[in-house]
Amino acid sequence: MIRKNRSKSSPVGIFDSGAGGLTVASAVKQLLPHESIIYFGDTAHLPYGDKSAEAILHYSRKITDFLLGHGCKIILAACNTVSATVWDNLNRYISGKAIPVNVIDPVVENVVRLYPGSFISIIGTKNTVNSLAYPEKIKKLSPGAKVSSLATPLLVPMIEEGFINDDISSAIINAYLSDPKLKGTETLILGCTHYPIIRDQIIDYYENKVEVIDSAMIVATRLKEILESNDMLNESSYVTDRFCVSDHTEYFGKIAAMFFHDQIRVEKIDLWR
């Protein structure tokens, strides 16, 4: 149940530490073009992958308050680090006010169902990997699954700085993916919403011999199912989207342009004043 002042036409709230969550926001708009979204990228504090759980929860709750204050009917934490480290606390905080959704559970359920018996590997931030959220959830659903994880902390700042499809990004990607922990991988989960931006480079490294899982459409599909089951799909023809950041960065707009064809206006909003 959510607050009575939320309606079918209320917006969908999506947040991430930076531009990575735009991959999920784009998938949501493709699947649900009649939904209004409010996106918040906490560019002032990225990356979350090396922050303490206390700091991540503090940032997440501030952003959640902002999204709730603008009437969001559902709040999607489009950040694996948030979903891995502080989700139980944040889930309780959101519940009763809006519908909470994370990005890990839908992906784990999808991978276990579609790739049974596969050697599954996860790459993500230090916090996501150290939390053991992915392997524990995978093992719970598939006790015999072979799972490995590797922290790849340079990928988020690399992407946020605009190093994509060049020699620098190729060298960093190759260095990580050649790690012995990933040897024999059959299914690779991109455990960070930034990583789909470099998915093609990762696929090229594996020469199309590994299933590379992009969480964006999987999560968007789950979000649609949740709205349908709660009878909360927007039936209005009026749609308005907002894109907000805690600090303007040069590359946020460039990444946004990769996923949204229309020119979007990015608002800087300081929630910590």
**Which is higher by pLDDT, 2 or 201?**
201
Residue 6: what pLDDT? 82
> Are 63 and 40 a contacting pair, CB within 8 Å?
yes
Q: Quick one: 63 and 154 in the same domain?
A: no
72 part of the active site = no
Based on the domain organization, do 128 and 140 belong to the same domain?
yes
Q: Which of 19, 56, 76, 79 is catalytic?
A: 79
Asked if 200 and 241 sit in the same domain, the reply is no
Look at residue 140 and tell me if it is in a domain: yes
Q: Domain check: are 254 and 125 in the same one? A: no
Query: Does residue 3 lie in a domain region?
Result: no
Do residues 110 and 209 share a domain?
Answer: yes
Q: Does residue 184 lie in a domain region?
A: yes
Residues 95 and 53 in one domain: yes
For residue 249, the model assigns a pLDDT of 84
Of 192, 212, 244, 256, the catalytic one is: 192
Mean pLDDT of 40-68: 96
Residue 1 has pLDDT above 60, yes or no: no
Q: pLDDT tens, 120-174? A: 999 999 999 999 999 999 999 999 999 999 999 999 999 988 899 999 999 999 9
Asked if 125 and 202 sit in the same domain, the reply is yes
pLDDT digits (tens, 9 = 90+) for 10-21: 999 999 999 999
Residue 225 belongs to a domain with what CATH number?
A: 3.40.50.1860
Say if residue 111 is in the same domain as residue 87. Answer: no
State yes or no: is 79 an active-site residue: yes
d(CA 191, CA 195): 8
Instruction: Tell me how many domains the chain contains.
Output: 2
Domain of residue 224, residue span: 12-102+217-268
Interval 218-269: pLDDT, tens: 999 999 999 999 999 998 888 999 999 999 887 888 888 888 876 688 999 9
Same domain for 82 and 109, yes or no, is no
pLDDT digits (tens, 9 = 90+) for 185-197: 999 999 999 999 9
211 with 123, same domain?
A: yes
